[in-house]
Each structure stands twice: as structure tokens, then as C-alpha cells.
Chains A and B, each alone.
Chain A
Amino acid sequence: MKKYLALIKTVFQDEFEYPAGIIYWVVLDLIPLVIMFYLWLVVYKTNAKIGDLSLNSMITYYFLMFIIFRLHAHSAFWLADLIKKGDIVGILLKPFNFLSYVIYRTFTRKWISLIISLPVIILALILLKDFIIFPESVLYLMAFLISLLLSMATFILIGIILGLVSFWTLEIGGLYYFCYNIMGFLGGLYLPLSLFPEKLAKALNFLPFYYLYYFPANIYLNQVSFSKIAIGFGISLLWLVLLLFFYKIIWHFGIKQYESFGN
């Protein structure tokens, strides 16, 4: 346990070495939320409901996307860089299980990110106080928090699997952007899935992306019954197990044929 605490301390130091970037993204990350707010405010002037969502639900939805996005680490780029430059050897030599190392590092970075964003989140809450709605009960809130953790874990695993593809290719940055954006699109980050054609939206229920953004938001907005929440948790856990399995396979074959450069 001591070694993981030391790792967490190192991550803290890394994150605050150059705090300038943090200031920029904390402030500028508000822009998409502001744009969405004004967009839907204008659209709802002539429509009472869109995709079964009222104006307040829609604004709350994008506020939730703003928070959930903060919790998702795009670890594929970092991993790909490690592999390309040979720095992964340094991690392999450390007394850590590689997956544990990545998960601890990523979780720590994301919670730091959320804490740093707290003033902005509180500011957004104050400005949007007339629009934000809250879960009906403590049970819904707890279910939402559990779905958030599942969402973080799923996103990290997908990112790791994508990053490990770098064992076989050298230059793949553009593909990662596309994958992350597609995951966001199919997961409801850019548009609620209730706006999608019904058959497509139903099919997306069975993909892991649905549990990254839309499912947690749906729970928060009281749009899902407890039985469906239970089923959703079951499917989400199943995907976690499958992704873990994929990771093991890719790691096994990737590390076998890996040749380090530079070290």
C-alpha cells in the first residue's frame, strides 16, 4: 500500500509542476457548457419537450456531461507515448502491477482534476440554479455515484486497450481522437441518446459507451426505474470483465513482441 501512496504523491507533484495549463482548461472548459445552455434556451422557446427532456432536464444533462467528462482520462495518448519513447520499461521495472499502476495514476489525476474544477463547478451551479434539477431520492443519488465509478473504470480500460495498440503501430494519435469522439457521440456526450432514432438508441444500450455518459445522467434525471438500473449495472459489469479480458490478451501479445527504443 505504501508504494501506491508514494505513486499518488508523485502524481500530485506532476500535476502541479506547471499549473498554467490547469488554469486555461478549467476556465475554457466552461465554454461548451455555456454554448449548450444558450443553444437549448433558444431552441426550447418554441418547443416544450425535446427527446422527452424538458428545458431543465436538458440543461442539467449538459451540466452532468461537464462533470462526467472531467472524470474521464484519455490515457491512450499517455500510454502510446510511453510505448513509443520506451519509457514503459521504467514502469515495468517498478514494483507495480502495470494495470494497477495505470488505474491508480489515472484515478488520482481525475480526482485532482475534479477538485481543481470545484470552484468552476460551483460557479456553474450558482449561475444555473434556476435550471438544475436534483435526484428524487438518496437512492437515485447513490445509484448515480455507483454508475459514475463504473463509467470511470470502463473508460480507463478502453483507453488502456487503445493505448496498447501502440505495441504494433507507431503513429496513431488521430485514431485515438476519433475513437474518443465516437465513444462520446455513441455514449450521449454531445447529444442525449433520446434524440437518436429509437432502434439505434435501443441497440446502443448494449454497448459499453452507453454506460459512460448517458446511463449515469439518466439515473440522475430519474428517468430510469430501479429494475432497469440493476440491469444496467449488470451489463456495465459484464463489459468491465470483457474489457479486462481484452486487456490481458493485448498485454500478453504486446509485451512479448515489444522492443524498447531509447532506453
Chain B
Amino acid sequence: MKRYLKLYFHFFKNCLVRELEFRFNVFALSIVHILWLGVMLGSVVLIFGQIDSIAGWEKQEVLILSVVALLFHDIMEMFFMGNLQRFSYFIRHGEFDFILLKPVNPRFMASFRYVEFQNIVRIIIMIFILVSFLQKAGIEPTIYEWAGFSTLFVGGLIVFYNIFFAIITTNFWLINVFNFSDIFDRLLSAGRYPVNIFQGRLKPFFVYIIPLGLIGTFSVEILLGKVNPISFWVVVIMVAATSLLSELFWRFALKHYSSASS
């Protein structure tokens, strides 16, 4: 464990140094991402110019949810997305063999080798915006509520990492899941709205199969004082289930891997 933490620290440092070689690019992208944050929040304000609530969620609550959902997206992108996107390239060009040859768990290398810093400024700004929105709404979460929020938030990250990792594992057979970033964006942008909008038979699908509630709804409900004990159990079960299934699928895929080159 210590060895992997040390290795990850070196990966992190290496990626940060590389990113800072293109300082203007980082600066320009940060401005672009912050502007887009403004557009997204502006969309919510525009919708609420015509209505009072969405499935019982008021404007300030939906704004908080939007920020948390985007924070979720950016953190996923920072730590996982770059790695998973490169995986398709590695399989097609035979470079995955070099990962297998290293004395490190191949899943660790496939999942954590690269860290993307493009959104780091927006992540920091969004944390401040989140606190500001909570204050404006007159909400002061206790330390236990922040702990609950963090637990559900991190649980959601693990679940979606497992889901995306399972999707990208299909590259072993399908070779080129080239539009992975579209898949990623489509799924995660759906978490901007409260999962309560789903009714009837589709609700369980969007709670348990594609767990959109884990992107933002469940964790924000804790901050808003709407504690739902079922959410915790959903997260615990989904973390366990997706971790086990994605690992089993990965091992099955590795056994059937045939290299494209060497």
C-alpha cells in the first residue's frame, strides 16, 4: 500500500510539472472553464425565471446541486478521465503490453497514472461558490452533515469510477470506444437535476442501474438537512457491488487479452 501511495505521489508530481510547462494553456483553459460554470448556473437562473421549483427543489437548492454535480464531474475528470480515455489508445496501439510488463498492478496503472489539472482552478472556485450558496440559503451544515456529504460524494466517485472502468474494459473486445469522453459527459451532466424528477418504473433504473443520484442528489440532501438513511445503504451496496463486478470483469478481460503488437 505504501509503495502504491509513493508511486502515485510521483505520478501526481510528474503530471503537475508537465502541466505547468504549458502555463498559458492552463490559464486559458481555467478562464474558459470558469465562464462555462457561469453559463451553467445562468441556465438554472433562467429556468427559475419561469418556475418556482423542480420536483420540490427550490432555486437555491438546485443551484447547490448544480455546483456539486459539476464538482463531481471535474474531480472525476481530474483523477480518472485522462487515464480511462488513454486506455482505448493503449489497446489499439499495443502499448498496453508495456503496462502489463511493469511490476505494478495493471489496473492501478490503467486508472491512476495520469492526473489532469485543467479544472483545478474551477474546482477551487466551486468549493467557495458552494459555501457561498449554502450561506445565502441560510444553511449551516454541521460537521456530521459535512462528513455525511463527503462520504456519499466519495462513494459516488468510487461507483462511477467502477462503472466507467467496466465500460472501458470492453475495449479488449470492441477495440475502439473512441467517444468515451462523450459517454462520460452525457452520464455525468444528467446528475445536475434532482433524481426526484424520475417517476414510475424508470426511477429504480436511474437510482440503482445508472445511479444518477450519487452524482449530486443524495449528498446534497444531507447538506440541506434532508437525511435519507436509504441513500447511505444504496451507496454502501453500490460501492461494494460495482467494485467487485468491475474487478471480476477486468480479470476476465485480462485473461482473454491478446496483444496487438509484441
Q: Is A51 an interface residue (CB 8 A)?
A: yes
Closest to B49 in A: A195
The answer to whether A191 and B43 touch across the interface, beta carbons within 8 angstroms, is yes
A18 contact set on B, CB distance < 8 A: 174-176, 178
Q: Number of B residues whose C-beta is below 8 Å from A?
A: 42
A174 contacts partner chain B, Cβ-Cβ < 8 Å: yes
A115 contacts the other chain (Cβ, under 8 Å)? Answer: no
Complexed CA–CA distance, A38 and B205 (Å): 13
Nearest CB of chain A from residue B138's CB, rounded to whole Å: 24
Contacts A20-B177, A21-B179; A38 near B197 (Cβ below 8 A):
yes
Answer whether residue B29 sits at the interface, using C-beta atoms and an 8 A cutoff.
yes
**Given contact pairs A25-B182, A28-B183, A51 touches B50 in the complex (Cβ within 8 A):** yes
**Total residue contacts A-B, CB cutoff 8 A:** 95
Q: Is A99 an interface residue (CB 8 A)?
A: no
Residue of A nearest to B42 (CB): A185
| B142 in contact (CB, < 8 A) | no
Interface check B36, CB cutoff 8 A: yes
Q: Are B183's CB and A25's CB within 8 A?
A: yes
Q: Of A29-37, A215-223, A226-234, which stretch is located at the interface?
A: A29-37
A29 to B186, CA, bound (A): 7
A41-49, A117-125, A251-259: which lies at the interface: A41-49
Smallest CB-CB separation from B92: which chain A residue?
A: A18
Nearest residue, chain B, Cβ from A53: B50
Decide: B52 and A46 in contact? CB cutoff 8 A: yes
State in angstroms the CA–CA spacing of A175 and B24 once bound together.
Answer: 12
Partner of A32, one of B29, B43, B189, B199: B189
Task: Establish whether residues A24 and B51, one from each chain, have CB atoms under 8 Å apart when the complex forms.
Answer: no
In chain B, what residue has the closest Cβ to A171?
B25
* Contact B43 A190, beta carbon cutoff 8 Å: yes
Residues from chain B with Cβ under 8 Å of A181 in the complex: 36, 39
Residue on B with the closest CB to A74? B182
Residue on A with the closest CB to B178?
A: A21
Chain B 183-200 interface residues, beta-carbon cutoff 8 Å to A:
183, 186-187, 189-190, 193, 196-199
Residues of A within 8 A of B174 (CB): 18, 20-21
- The answer to whether A21 and B51 have CB atoms under 8 Å apart is no
> A104 contacts the other chain (Cβ, under 8 Å)?
no
The 4 closest A-B pairs by CB, nearest first: A20-B174, A18-B176, A174-B29, A178-B32
Chain B: residues with CB nearer than 8 A to chain A? 22, 25, 28-29, 32-33, 35-36, 39, 43, 46-47, 49-55, 118, 167, 170, 173-179, 182-183, 186-187, 189-190, 193, 196-199, 202, 210
- A contact set with B: CB distance below 8 Å: 17-18, 20-21, 24-25, 28-29, 31-32, 34-35, 38-39, 41-43, 46-47, 50-51, 171, 174-175, 177-178, 181-182, 185, 190-191, 195-196
Known contacts A47-B50, A196-B46; 11 additional CB pairs below 8 A are A20-B174, A20-B175, A21-B177, A24-B167, A24-B177, A31-B210, A39-B197, A43-B47, A50-B50, A178-B36, A181-B36
8 contacts across the A-B interface (CB closer than 8 A): A18-B174, A18-B178, A24-B167, A34-B202, A42-B197, A46-B52, A46-B53, A196-B46
